[in-house]
A and B are shown apart, each in its own frame.
Chain A
Amino acid sequence: MSATRHIRFTLNGRPAAAEIGTHETLVDVLRDRFALFGARESCGQGLCGCCTVVVDGRAVSGCLFLAAAADGARVDTIEGLAPGERLDPVQEAFIECGAFQCGFCTPGFVLMTKQLLDENPEPSEDEIKHYLSGNLCRCGAYPEIIEAVRVASRKRKSGG
């Protein structure tokens, strides 16, 4: 438990560095060193999607991803998605559609939706369900989330 490492990476577009324990996960480090709470550990097994973080352009489960492996990588979190006043079209769509209740799973869904729409700008309902099947929402806001993905798709097409 005592081994440490120094890592450097790009966090939400800015250079970052941290002294980390080799056992620490990316969620631990984002939370404890950078006060970023949008990626949150819930199931601890990479099954719920609450801890979703984007590493080098790919969504990963931050609760399973060792922080040491982020050395040299580009790390993007929900906090970096819309740093200013203006929200991302996906975030706007989630608000408009009421696509959350407690909000604990929401950052994960937002990041996965953005990645889905980057890959597939106009997904079918089945494609949406398939792509988001690794994210859980215990409040059951799934119908609203599916609607939000569609709305976000339209917003992106029309330039926001």
Chain B
Amino acid sequence: MSATAKAGQVGRSLPRLEGRAKVTGRADYIHNLRLPGMLHGKIFRSVVAHGRIRRVDVEAARQVPGVYAVFVSDDIRRVIANPYYGPAFHDQPILAEGKVRHIGEPVAVVLAEDPHVAEEAARLIVAEYDELPAVTGEVEAMTSNVIVHDVLKPAGTFPDLKHLEGRKGTNLALDFHLRRGDVKPAFATADHVFEHTFRTQPVMHTPLEPFVSAAEPCDGTLTIYTASQSPSFVRIEIARLLSWPENRVRVKTAFLGGGFGAKLYIKLEALVAALALLTHRPVKISLAMDEQFFTITKHPSTFRIKSAVTKDGRITARECEVWWNGGAYADIGPRVTQKSGFTAAGPYDIDNVAIDSYALYTNRPPAGALRGFGIPQLVWAYESHTDMIARALDIDPVEFRRRNLLRDGRPQATGTVMQDAATGKVLDRLVERIGWGRPFDRGQGTIKRGRGVAVGFKASIAPTTSGAIFNIYADGSCALYCSTVDMGQGSDTAMAQIAAEVLDVPAESVRVVHPDTDVTPYDMATLGSRSTYHMGNAVKRAAEDARAKIEALKAELGLPPGSNIPLPELFRRKYGMQAGNIVGIGSFVPSYASPDHDTGLTPNATPFWMVGGAGAEVEVDTETGHVRIMRLINVADLGTPINPRIVETQLSGGAIMQLGFTMQECMEFADGQLLNPSLADYKIPGMRDLPARIENEAVAAVQQSGPFGAKGVGETATFGVSPAIANAIDDAVGVRLRELPLTPEAVYRALVKGGR
């Protein structure tokens, strides 16, 4: 399928097509949307983590001048008979019914023409709860008597969740198990056994355009305008909730002011749909920054990892137990649990592997996908563990990795044979760039210096589908219709380049039509670094189909093959005037084999592998615990870049985001309350938090099955950052941190306990 780019459109660092719109402030976001007669909604939220709703008093709110209506769950049921949604489980009520299960859960909503009026009125709502004990920890949730959902309600879309239907008395939303070889004898006969436990903290995506959705009713149809990464899913889910055919629900998106996995599946869309149907008016809800923290988060996790190692440094067995804190509603957590479970043992060639990965309900805000789909949590643990083993055995950490690295042609833990995964190259380039073998200044006095590396990998999400349409107009200009959402990753530009490469036209001349489910064909979602590969292949096929149809038209008109007749002339000869279209279509569904339920094994776990490594040089102030990152190196296998400049921005941007999750970000809970839901207290990286130097490299690689050798890149640079820094801190001062974030306080406390 791979073809080398010859037209020069793929492989060029074309500035983003929408650059001018973005620097002039004129880019289109749903945030900007105004509809005639529109009402604004403000959500009233729970202040308890777990409780039965005794009473919700909305009377005072209703009396506020300018309030159009106030609704609670009973009202929602007037238009949606079974108002529970979600991609994996139908567990999330549009507004809380009977019970609240997390802090910040929507309980009621106020509508007004003036958003300030709605906000003021929402403050007057009073709710009373009979508080219930809450379960907050993921490990605790396994055995707790506190049960978040009385009955499990799998959505039915994932066959491997069906067996959970109707299950009671459990917080377990999915358990994934993988068994390869036999770990027991390997541990029994091992020269060394190492076991460690690592944790990650709750953090939030923090897109700067907060969640925003609007719904507009019209004559038996509903148009939903939403800052969503998954317009096709939204349409299907809203149609299901309303028992309508898909063609009565239209979903449109625009540019997204960031997504990072937050704006996936379904968030505010069901609520605005219900409100629009209740009021027969357009309704828009724009969340404030603090409300995002109650909407979706990244899974906190606990990972117990145990390895059997020979005295010459070969890993012979690995046991992984991972608990994922999914919060009160499953969202896509079960998929995170399963897909990340495939690779929990790391990019190492290990004959005996046992993996148990558990998705758990707790009374925390829901957790979903966040740039890496669980992989950064896993790499944090297995690459910290890897360094700890190497140090304990007095083997150089890079050498230890080389001895065990999983390379092309060898089976991965699932049994799938590795292909087009440049693990070795990524490690080699990392080591070369950081100058691993060369002398290193270890600092002096109270400032100690150290360095560390880490390599992680990820299986792409499968099975998923993408479709694309390429339309050539009668003057020869063209447009590409695809439902990939450009949330900043540069997909519009990349897709235009792929199509332009096939048609041999300038990429700047390709118009990319933004997702509109009445116009653009189905795409599973913009997630998991899947678009370049999946949609890229679909776009390539659509453009090839259009090219073939041009040739067919030439033949039909009696023109010789290879005739270079201009397109407008071709249309004129066919239709007698400037008229008509040539429409190419393409779709792409990679092959995939579901893992066996008992063993987790499959010959085909993923259409492609992503490999990302990081190297860090740090300075640790032993008096304060403060860590300065002197250098952060990101090396990735992303196949052959479609647009090298955009790819580099993706690498460095992903690494900087992960740097926030590594060094500073943490949602702090106390007595059931979230203490820091604001940018005043929840600090995302700013200019001052950058490493002194940041370097990025895409290794020379080809994804044979990808469009022009490319594959995904959006998440890759997040993999190695956290463990590379923790390994560097250990290298500098001899303390090992097993929990994120690596704050000065954490480093200082560890130093007090005993560093070098």
Contacts and interface: CB of A to CB of B under 8 A. Distances in A.
A101 interface: yes
A153 interface: no
Contacts of B656: 140, 142
Interface stretch (B14-22, B138-146, B322-330, B412-420): B14-22
A102 B20 contact: no
Interface string A110-147: 10000000000000000011101111111111111110
Contacts of A43: 208, 289, 678-679
Interface in B191-207: 205-207
Given A82-B24, A140-B656, A103 B18 contact: yes
B489 interface: yes
A38 to B, nearest CB: 2
A88 to B, nearest CB: 8
Nearest to B206: A138
A47 B680 contact: yes
Given A87-B24, A91-B23, A139-B653, A47 B645 contact: no
A39 B24 CA distance: 11
Interface string A20-33: 01011000000100
Nearest to B207: A138
Contacts of A105: 208
A78 B646 contact: no
Given A23-B116, A102-B487, A104-B258, A138 B25 contact: no
Interface in B648-688: 649-650, 652-657, 678-680, 684-688
Interface residues of B, number: 60
A146 B65 CA distance: 49
Contacts of A143: 652, 690, 694
B468 interface: no
Given A100-B22, A103-B255, A140 B488 contact: no
A142 B23 contact: no
B298 interface: no
Contacts of A42: 208-210, 257, 289
Given A104-B257, A133-B686, A78 B206 contact: no
Interface residues of A, number: 57
Contacts of B26: 37-38, 79
A3 to B, nearest CB: 12
A137 B209 CA distance: 11
A126 B675 CA distance: 33
A72 interface: no
B690 A103 contact: no
B563 interface: no
Interface string B1-45: 000000000000001101111111111010110100000000000
A109 B275 CA distance: 37
Contacts of A146: 687
Given A91-B23, A138-B258, A98 B16 contact: yes
A138 B657 contact: yes
Contacts of A150: none
A101 B652 contact: no
Nearest to B652: A143
A78 B208 contact: no
A78 B24 contact: yes
A75 to B, nearest CB: 14
A44 B20 contact: no
Contacts of B16: 95, 98, 100
B251 interface: no
Contact of B488 (A31, A47, A102, A128): A102
B686 A101 contact: no
A103 B257 contact: yes
Given A1-B116, A140-B656, A141-B649, A95 B487 contact: no
Nearest to B659: A140
Nearest to B33: A37
Contact of B653 (A101, A107, A132): A101
B728 to A, nearest CB: 20
Contacts of B652: 140, 143-144
Contacts of A21: 116
A51 to B, nearest CB: 10
A132 B686 CA distance: 9
Name the 9 nearest CB pairs between A and B, nearest first: A38-B25, A102-B488, A104-B257, A140-B656, A103-B22, A101-B488, A78-B25, A140-B653, A95-B19
Interface of B: 15-16, 18-27, 29, 31-32, 34, 65-66, 114, 116-117, 120, 205-210, 255-260, 288-289, 487-490, 645-646, 649-650, 652-657, 678-680, 684-688, 690, 694
22 contacts: A31-B32, A38-B26, A40-B257, A42-B257, A45-B679, A50-B208, A78-B24, A78-B25, A79-B25, A82-B24, A91-B20, A94-B23, A98-B15, A100-B16, A101-B649, A103-B255, A106-B22, A128-B687, A129-B687, A133-B686, A142-B690, A144-B649
